[in-house]
Structure 1
Amino acid sequence: MLTVRSFVVVAFVTGLAMAASARAGDGYYRMPTLHADTVVFVSEGDLWRVDASGGIAERLTSHPDEERTPALSPDGAMLAFVGAYEGSAEVYVMPLAGGVPERVTYGADRPAVVGWTPDGRGVIYSTRHFSTLPDVQLVVFDRETSMHHRLPLAQASDGGFDGVDGPLYFTRLPFQGSWTKRYKGGTAQQIWRFGPGDDEATPLTGDFAGTSATPMPYDGRVYFVSDRDGTMNLWSMSRDGGDLRQHTRHDGWDVKSPALSGGRIVYQLGADLRRFDIASGADRALSITLRSDFDQMREQWVEKPMTFLTDVDVAPDGESVVLTARGEVFVAPRRQGRFVQVTRAPGVRYRHATFMPDGESLLALSDERGELDYWRLPLDGVGAPTALTNDGDVVRGEGVPSPDGLKIAYADKNFRLWIADLETGERTMVAESAWETFGDLVWSPDGAWLAFVETLENAYRQVRLYDVAGARIVDATSDRIDSFSPSWSPDGDWLAFLADRDFTSVVESVWGHEQPEPFLDRQTTISLLALDATTTRSPFLPDDEVVRREKKDKAAAEKKDADAGDDDAGAGDDDAAKKDGEGKDDDPTKKGGDKEKVVVTIDVDGLAARLHVVPVPRGNYEALTITKDHLFWIETSREPDAAELKALKIDTEPKHEVKSIAKGVTSYRVSRDGKRLLVRRKDDLHVVDANAGAGAKLDEGKVNLGGWTFTFRPAEQWRQMFVDAWRMERDYFYDPGMHGVDWTAMRDKYLPLVERVRSRQELSDLLGQLIGELSALHMYVAGGDRRDGPDTIAQGSLGARLVRDDAAGGYRVERVYRTDPDFPNERSPLARPEVDVRDGDVITAINGVPTLSVPHACALLRDTAGRQVLLHVTRGDAARAVIVEPIPAAREAELRYDEWEYTRRLQVDEASDDAIGYVHLRAMGAGNFSEFARHYYPVFTRQGLIVDVRHNRGGNIDSWVLSRLMREIWMYWQGRVGKPTWNMQHAFPGHIVVLCDEFTASDGEAFAEGFRRLGLGQVIGTRTWGGEIWLSFSNRLVDNGIASAAEYGVYGPEGEWLIEGHGVEPDIVVDNLPHETFNGRDAQLERAIAHLRAIIERNPVEIPAHPAYPDKSR
């Protein structure tokens, strides 16, 4: 059995072995391309070349950012790839022999190099730059003319030409985004063919619902990858899609990024590259050695630790703070002293470090033994940590030590609340929730009770009290009020907490634009619960005459007793009396300043009747703490950085003044002795006097973190992150059975490849392969350490599509993107009235530089967003100069989308004679409700409505939209003159359809399914993405990256899982085919209009006339 120290030594030796492996030259190889005897691939974020039989690889690029998707030209002389030399990802071309890369695109919008034209003249790349709807297209860059020619296909993501004049075989739809093996949802990639003279592209692999992608025409056949046998393997078919043949039979390891040249295919498998020979069927791994300094594996310095700060706590005496950042623990002095790095165990992540009550050691979670257990850490960083528990089996939360330090309370990911006894090693399950994990764990001053918050079936939170000795739970609050954030008074007489007791709507009327709804704001009050039946008066209740008399009498009696005691003691006892007074302090665990320990008494009978509300205005409060003299809490608002730390002195004065201590507060903590406040504001920490109130001098109490830096070894952290991601996936995934996958076997399968990882991107690729084994959607790998280049040059845009026109002497404006004229601030820079550049105009110079003198006119727009630019423009024979302010490239992408949305609306208005309204929702986030309000309320009285959720990226507001569409008219109001209005307000009186497509995702799909199930109308379009296991993005890795877990499955009343893995099947299937869609047709929208017009014709909406006015004269 390994001791703690021996485990650390083994881990360190393991790290050295991994470093030695790196020096040996093994790497992690991705995205290969092939020509003759040369393979180019990606490793360490750079491009390398190696012989097609393997050997020592030569580095071709060295930029700090990642180069990817390389493609060798047909003659093997040139190499096209995507790089980020100036900050944004763009297409570049360079000689294979070496040289300065030539930039090809400007503002390409998610580009990827696909290949070359067979004649070697053009680079084929995919991009969203030319599409108004954010769809990918294939574009050919002609290196001789510098022209970018769009292939006339929508949704083409990769492909290749079958000869110079042959057809294009292409993959329809890009990778759907989620790491999901065996995917069969609506966004599954399929292979299509489009040839010269064809009216429309032809699907070739529609016989299989899974993935068929990356077509590679060769010698009369088309080679591609498909997971028809459950694993992505190499297949081929005849040119018409028949005669399927399987060429590789890998089991459990997917073929990735295949590239074909001269009858051979190279591809990635795991961390290796393999080469398949078509003629012989031989398939072997390439043995490759990297000659590299493996710079990304060197010990790295963390220069901005606050970026990685996850937890902070203040010492019991307020003289120091403990920080948890990037899995390490540090102690910083409040004023002067040594800054201590407490932990240094290689490949170990520490979480939730906090001070033990004695202030002599720390408590933290650690994964040192493979699971999360609680450990005691030395405060000074000297000596080995000590394991306090050894029963970790699931992700746990922060440990809360009891006042005597002998117990730890904590909650885990399985919604269980525990108390661990550190003396006996036993643990007791206090409670188990069916709804959420427990929060706000707070021990009573004597450690006899634990207060906690449990979420109930009605979604309210309830404050509950656990009697440790009696093993019973007492409800401190009811289940009819949302109560939270409990805090014990130091004398044990009171339990303070927050509760939402006000239900006054800010909105006072149902009348008005955009369907006014009730909104509850500033609901929270501060409450005090008297625990002992003998405590009846609130500490905030002003003294009345009876109380004043009682206090006066008590003071007089105490003085009389004191005088009598002095007389008895005599002068000779002065020293003894003085000695007895020594050591007395205001320790909050002692009553009246004497040495008597606090004993908390809770009289359960009549507890609810002893509830008091603190006399302060209601607000949006959180994080309440009560001390001997004050109440502290944070008040929030909807404004950014508006959280404010407030304080209220506990006294019986008639007027109670709430004081502001600090604004822009992230969090705070009160020291155990109640004397100090730790306040966090963004990246600053302050320790101030808790009794200073509004006079707290934050700057004087600022903790000096200016010199805080530390190091880590990437290889050690990569291994830790891999296991951490695997463990959190195990504990966060909605199905405890992991979809039937042997999850331990998956860890053992992929873990050895961590030793091959040489960059964070490679770790992300490996994590993606791991989590993909669960065959679920919403499985993403994102964030984390990223090595960026030194330059970040933003690309400016004129909000228009420009085409090189040598004959006209410049770049012709092919399209100025159009937007809704009711929102002039959203228009293209060229569409502003004072600019007035139109389609067909020619831009001959930008800032005096001829546009034909550079590779592309947009090259002159780099670093110009928001700054004035001089354009020289011709229209026919007229020339003029005009000043314009370019927009960022990201805004141009939104502008293109704006045009798509606006032109759909115009098409609906025109085709229906304004009888049908149109609403497009791009996503289902809170901000997207503005899209519904913007488009629905102007047309809510029409006969028909199209709700378009095509390309909807998801979110969580489906119920907001559905509830509004569910409103029905049940009565009318008729005034003296005019037309009637109806109740329910803004109910839609007509007929509704929903449009969806392959990119309708997540909550967009939930909306479409809910719309149909609720009987609101029919769904038109194509089958959706198929992702309906929701997630929270809470399982962060040590470098702030994530391998997300799908956490919340969705099923219907019939007891069947909904949508996941398949998607929403529309009632009426209409496909927007690639070629006709490129040419401007929207067949799905046309069908929706025709469908609604037919329904309206059969069943027109008629508002009934009011009845005859009554005759009440008799």
Structure 2
Amino acid sequence: MSLTRPMIAPAFTILLLMTGWVGTAATAALAQKTPPAKAVGYYRNPAIHDNTIVFVAEGDLWKTSVFGGAASRLTSHPGDETNPAISPDGTTVAFTGEYEGPAEVYTMPIEGGLPTRFTYDANRGLVAGWTPDNRIIYICSIYSTLPRWQMVLLDPATGDRELLPLAQAAGGCIDEDGQSVFFTRVPFQGSHTKRYKGGTAQTLWRFDLPTDETDPAAVNEAVHLTGDYPGTSRNPMCWDGRVYFESDRNETMNVWSMKPDGSDLQQHTFHVGWDVKTASLGQGRIVYQLGGDIRLFDITAGTDRMIPITLDSDFDQTREKWVTSPIDYLTSAHLSPDGDRVVLTARGEVFVMPHGQGRLVQATRRPDVRYRTARFTADGERILTLSDESGEIEFWTLPTDGTPDDHQQLTTDGVVLRWDGIPSTDGTWIAHYDKNFRLWLFNVDSGEQRLIDQSDYDDFSDLAWSPDNKWLAYVKVVHNQNHVIRLYHVDDAITLDLTSDRYDSRSPAWDPDGEWVYFLSDRNFRSLVRSPWGPRQPEPFFDRETELFMAALQPGLRSPFEPDTELTRQAEQAKEEDEEKETNEDDASATDDTDAAQANTEDTADEATADESQEDGTDESAEDSEAADGDDEDEGDDEADKAESLIEIEAEGLQERLYRIPVAAGNYGNLMATADHLFWLGREDLYDRSVDFKTLEIKNTKIEPKTVVSGVASVEMSPDGSKLLIRKGSGLHRIDTASARGPATLDDTTAFDLSGWAFSLVPREEWRQMFIDAWRLERDYFYDTNMHGVDWPAMLDKYLPLVNRVSTRGELSDLIAQMVAELSALHTFVYGGDNRGGTDNINIGTLGARLTRDPEAGGYRIEHIYRHDPDEPDQASPLAALDSTIAEGDVITAVNRVPVLSAPDIGALLRNQVGRQVLLDLTGGETGETYQQVVMPGSTWSERDLRYDEWEYTRRLLVDQMGDGRIGYVHLRAMGGGDIAQWTRDFYPVHDREALIIDVRQNGGGNIDSWILEKLIRQIWFYWQARVGKPTWNMQYAFPGHMVVLCNEHTGSDGEAFTEGFRRLGLGKVIGTRTWGGEIWLTSSNVLVDNGIATAAEFGVYGPEGTWLIEGHGVEPDETVDNLPYATFLGSDEQLDAAVAHLLESLANDPVVIPDAPTHPDKSSKDNRPK
């Protein structure tokens, strides 16, 4: 299928072409009679009341009628306004707005007007509807210790809030009599996945609301209404004794309904392939998003129709826009062959920039095309680029002067993503590799595309041409996951392994004379940890593994780093004498040739004079023969010179001709070479973000690397080796290679002038390119080449037309999400990109406590100060500092001397106060005395951590209490690199207990499951006993007792891998609820041109038995225990209770006993025994 953009002429031009005679007067008359077409947008989040509909388009709120027509704009702020809901009396719209940055709850008159802000939580308050008694329903997580959504009722008349007593409630409705709340228990799980049936599938529940008079013991637990179906049921809407909702029971999300007890299911809409989204009900009619449209379903009439809406808008976000900081989108930068220019790709466009004075050239102006990389051709006259202009990623060349109509396509065989092409310096070949792990050579002259290698494990890397362009060095990942350097000869089609697979080797760099290949290899395995003895089971840690090596391409070569000896000095002297003798002979020969030439000239002149008298007797044969002989002789000399310059490699013994360069091992990369110097990048520590650019002179005295520039991001050498391109910070610099012999200064004289670098683009053209690119990248990254059986080209045809209606980057993301969801795979997230936002982003300070507005007490009462582990004083709430006298029950009456009741919310007074000293006036809750305290408010994220820390800490205390100190507890929030610290802090203090709970509920995933499992599979196989005291064991810190893993519906990704591994390895029992179901791993590297992404599921997981694991379903616990919404809100943790009960039972049935040391042997003799 061709994805080439069709060339469409404007309608007026087409009219002229069709008629041929229409003049200006007729055209003007036609323009007067034909009104301009109304613009159609992309519509989301509709709400309805009577005949009025409020919806979201362009990131703003709009209003129209149920009959459609031109909509009027209600909001115009640059940030997003979303989630509109119309009050029961139809006068007010509640919505979520980002006027000051954080998403908060606002209202405004339905006729338009100044919005009123009601929340200052900086915690993403999402409006979900209204109650029958005119209160706003919104959801947030600010009241939950775990990051869980809860429903809050807000009275706009008083500002009072009521938190519904449900631990999990991600939106819902309250029935007409106000007796019951119907709610979606969990929020959208984040991955855009149609037909999802994993453990986090949204389900509907009913909770009968208690009144003030209700006996707490008589309150019933929430009831699951959609337990008959494992898929999604969401967004309940109450009307006329029934509950309407969205469900994908027929594979497509449609509107259904049921009775309040979950019975009598009825389907009302019957869409196929297009999901119903964000439905809203008002007075017996439901409006919802379908694709980019809003539709209306009339419950009584049973009719369903699209509402034809147009927008009277200037579509500000679609007009030409300027990219004023292209460096933020830089994807490649390469010097010209002689280093006088640099070619840049940024935001999909190509630029040529001179060093010093000259014209900045924008070589491409096609926002509907993505130029992924760009390099100069070998002669520097054109640009070699990878472009999707043809619909696939192909090589093209462009002029360097920006001429727009001289783009030449080189390849036409693209079927999958290609990577950066490396041209040979003679311009004959382009080496490149693709996403299917294939390495290619493309012959520019013949058009031949030659497959030269294929990997089974990963992409190729580090492609480098030899000086004679006959050999290509590259790096391949082999069977044992090591990287091997290979050499391919383009004429003979032979491949040699320069390095063995025993070590990891990379970054080959050719000696310009063709005698050596320099490279880096990890061979220095000197652990910083010397033994397993010490706290927390110290393990080997290898830093500075990389060393520099050089391989001789021919036998008999001596490393230039080897010291001189008397023999080498004698050999060098003899060589110099031979060269001097040869020079003298050449000079003598040249003198003889000159004399002979002069004599020949005189003879030739005499012959010419004699021949003039011979009519028709001229004989040119001898002359021609002499000329021909001369040409042959010159050509032979050229060929001889050429043959001498060809690099010859003796294959036999190649891997044995290896020298280690005498430089201390380090953390090195990106090796480069000239005739007399080596260059590379190095880090002091393995994970140090600061990178140094280093150099080493190739000589055998004073062998000492020097730092050229510190703190660089990248360095590249020009093809001719004369210049170096250095990226540091947001700047690009060029220095001479000859000057990089030691410390170099980067300043205005070395910098490329980026100050005027800016360019414009047309958003809709770029959005079209990004949509197609997202489709193509999903195809090329997805782990199943059959795309889960989905007709992937048909999905592009299905969704692409809607791009023309998109008017914001957020709408594009919504559309991309609908498309990638067709694959029904998890780990498919859509986020990022060049989204417009407001100019304000005002932080709100947090006090680390739960506060309640109490007008009678004169302020905000401190209901609860979040607890923290006393061993971690830095985790303390701002109100719980060691010198603080603030206590729960006290009342905050003023912030920085401003009475708190004078503000709509205490958060309004804490804006822009994060990390600053704030003076609080307080009244003691017990004493009634007034006092002052200076506190340092934290950020929203720090308070989120405080709440989570309290949950973790109190779980640990509960386990200590219920298990009588016999059971240890470890919680892991995620499986990222930083979470190993949490494991270390919490596991080793309890490693010697009789039982252990590993709690991975809410675990967001990562990649360290093997680290944790490795610790848990260690077994005790002997004990050490000193002369006194208790024994210790080997393997050190092996856990001796019974274990349980706790998981729930929010255990995801690597948290699930850990859970499944724990069970498969027979380590213990898994208790909880079924997990998320996301087990196709990813790299998140398929980034779009504006740095947004629609991630692809890249690496499927299957077990030794040959079945796919976890994906789409989740890990089934051995024992299912659910923490129900109401009981959990009251403080219950049934899952934790079940884990403790199981372990106590296990200890009763199978006690963990550390055996006593046996009686010491009696090795005495009758001569030395005590008498």
Asked whether the two chains share a fold, i.e. TM above 0.5, the reply is yes
Report what 2:7 is aligned to: 10
Of 471, 489, 494, 1:472 maps to 494
Of 891, 907, 911, 2:962 maps to 911
Shift in CA distance, 809/571, structure 1 to aligned 2, threshold 3 Å: farther
Report what 1:1018 is aligned to: 1069
CA contact (8 A) 2:349 2:367 kept: no
Of 816, 830, 835, 1:767 maps to 816
Shift in CA distance, 113/355, structure 1 to aligned 2, threshold 3 Å: same
Shift in CA distance, 849/21, structure 1 to aligned 2, threshold 3 Å: farther
Deviations 1:634-657, CA, capped at 9 Å, x for gaps: 11234553111111111232x201
Alpha-carbon deviation of 1:452?
Answer: 1.0
Secondary structure in 2 aligned to 1:773?
Answer: helix
Report what 2:1135 is aligned to: 1084
- Return the alpha-carbon distance in structure 2 between the equivalents of residues 433 and 741 of structure 1: 27
CA contact (8 A) 1:476 1:608 kept: yes
Matched, 1:456 2:478: yes
Matched, 1:150 2:163: yes
Of 93, 104, 109, 2:107 maps to 93
- Return the alpha-carbon distance in structure 1 between the equivalents of residues 124 and 891 of structure 2: 27
Report what 2:232 is aligned to: 211
Secondary structure in 2 aligned to 1:497?
Answer: strand
- Return the alpha-carbon distance in structure 2 between the equivalents of residues 14 and 71 of structure 1: 40
Shift in CA distance, 11/690, structure 1 to aligned 2, threshold 3 Å: farther
What code does the residue aligned with 1:86 have?
E
Shift in CA distance, 13/1023, structure 1 to aligned 2, threshold 3 Å: farther
Matched, 1:225 2:232: no
Of 723, 726, 738, 2:787 maps to 738
Matched, 1:340 2:361: yes
- Return the alpha-carbon distance in structure 1 between the equivalents of residues 431 and 687 of structure 2: 35
Shift in CA distance, 870/749, structure 1 to aligned 2, threshold 3 Å: same
Of 682, 698, 701, 1:650 maps to 698
Of 650, 655, 663, 1:603 maps to 650
Shift in CA distance, 861/643, structure 1 to aligned 2, threshold 3 Å: same
Report what 2:676 is aligned to: 629
Alpha-carbon deviation of 1:202?
Answer: 0.5
Shift in CA distance, 545/594, structure 1 to aligned 2, threshold 3 Å: farther
What code does the residue aligned with 1:694 have?
G
CA contact (8 A) 2:709 2:743 kept: no
**% of aligned pairs identical?**
55
- Return the alpha-carbon distance in structure 2 between the equivalents of residues 21 and 801 of structure 1: 59
Matched, 1:309 2:330: yes
Report what 1:104 is aligned to: 118
Shift in CA distance, 877/345, structure 1 to aligned 2, threshold 3 Å: closer
Matched, 1:78 2:92: yes
- Return the alpha-carbon distance in structure 1 between the equivalents of residues 482 and 100 of structure 2: 51
Shift in CA distance, 118/573, structure 1 to aligned 2, threshold 3 Å: farther
Moved more, 160-169 or 1038-1047: 160-169
Alpha-carbon deviation of 1:22?
Answer: 11
Matched, 1:196 2:193: no
Report what 2:541 is aligned to: 519
Alpha-carbon deviation of 1:117?
Answer: 1.1
Deviations 1:97-147, CA, capped at 9 Å, x for gaps: 222211111125232110111011x11100011100111100011223312
- Return the alpha-carbon distance in structure 1 between the equivalents of residues 9 and 670 of structure 2: 41
- Return the alpha-carbon distance in structure 1 between the equivalents of residues 531 and 854 of structure 2: 59
Matched, 1:326 2:326: no
CA contact (8 A) 2:439 2:454 kept: yes
Of 183, 192, 202, 1:170 maps to 183
Report what 1:582 is aligned to: none
Alpha-carbon deviation of 1:563?
Answer: 3.7
Secondary structure in 2 aligned to 1:797?
Answer: coil
CA contact (8 A) 2:48 2:54 kept: yes
Of 998, 1001, 1019, 1:968 maps to 1019
CA contact (8 A) 1:94 1:101 kept: yes
- Return the alpha-carbon distance in structure 1 between the equivalents of residues 457 and 396 of structure 2: 29
- Return the alpha-carbon distance in structure 1 between the equivalents of residues 957 and 468 of structure 2: 71
- Return the alpha-carbon distance in structure 1 between the equivalents of residues 1152 and 12 of structure 2: 74
Please show how residues 564-963 of structure 1 align to structure 2 within 5 Å: 564-566=585-587, 569=590, 598-636=645-683, 637-638=685-686, 640-653=688-701, 655-692=702-739, 693-699=741-747, 700-875=749-924, 876-963=927-1014
Report what 2:1161 is aligned to: 1110
- Return the alpha-carbon distance in structure 2 between the equivalents of residues 482 and 31 of structure 1: 54
What code does the residue aligned with 2:101 have?
G
Alpha-carbon deviation of 1:556?
Answer: 2.4
- Return the alpha-carbon distance in structure 2 between the equivalents of residues 557 and 511 of structure 1: 64
- Return the alpha-carbon distance in structure 1 between the equivalents of residues 1028 and 729 of structure 2: 59
What code does the residue aligned with 2:1067 have?
L
Provide structure 1 residue ranges, at least 5 long, that are not aligned to the other structure: 578-589
- Return the alpha-carbon distance in structure 1 between the equivalents of residues 70 and 429 of structure 2: 58
Matched, 1:300 2:349: no
CA contact (8 A) 1:641 1:665 kept: no
What code does the residue aligned with 2:668 have?
Y
Q: Please say which structure displays the higher CA radius of gyration.
A: 2
What code does the residue aligned with 1:162 have?
D
Provide structure 2 residue ranges, at least 5 long, that are not aligned to the other structure: 15-33, 211-218, 599-636, 1166-1171
Aligned length, in residue pairs:
1092
Moved more, 486-495 or 279-288: 486-495
Shift in CA distance, 569/12, structure 1 to aligned 2, threshold 3 Å: farther
Shift in CA distance, 8/376, structure 1 to aligned 2, threshold 3 Å: farther
- Return the alpha-carbon distance in structure 2 between the equivalents of residues 225 and 558 of structure 1: 89
TM-score normalised over the length of structure 2: 0.91
- Return the alpha-carbon distance in structure 1 between the equivalents of residues 540 and 902 of structure 2: 61
- Return the alpha-carbon distance in structure 1 between the equivalents of residues 959 and 716 of structure 2: 57
Alpha-carbon deviation of 1:565?
Answer: 4.2
What code does the residue aligned with 1:988 have?
F
- Return the alpha-carbon distance in structure 1 between the equivalents of residues 385 and 68 of structure 2: 48
Report what 2:413 is aligned to: 391
Report what 1:55 is aligned to: 69
Deviations 1:1043-1096, CA, capped at 9 Å, x for gaps: 110000000011000000000000010000000111111110111111111111
Secondary structure in 2 aligned to 1:323?
Answer: strand
Secondary structure in 2 aligned to 1:937?
Answer: helix
- Return the alpha-carbon distance in structure 1 between the equivalents of residues 981 and 467 of structure 2: 49
Report what 2:632 is aligned to: none
What code does the residue aligned with 1:765 have?
D
Alpha-carbon deviation of 1:695?
Answer: 3.6
CA contact (8 A) 1:11 1:347 kept: no
TM-score normalised over the length of structure 1: 0.96
Deviations 1:203-234, CA, capped at 9 Å, x for gaps: 11100000011111111111101000000000
Deviations 1:404-459, CA, capped at 9 Å, x for gaps: 11211111001111111122222111111110111111111112111111101211
Deviations 1:592-646, CA, capped at 9 Å, x for gaps: x988773110100111221111110011111111111111111123455311111
- Return the alpha-carbon distance in structure 2 between the equivalents of residues 706 and 640 of structure 1: 30
- Return the alpha-carbon distance in structure 2 between the equivalents of residues 299 and 918 of structure 1: 57
Secondary structure in 1 aligned to 2:796?
Answer: helix
What code does the residue aligned with 1:476 have?
L
CA contact (8 A) 2:543 2:686 kept: no
Alpha-carbon deviation of 1:8?
Answer: 7.2
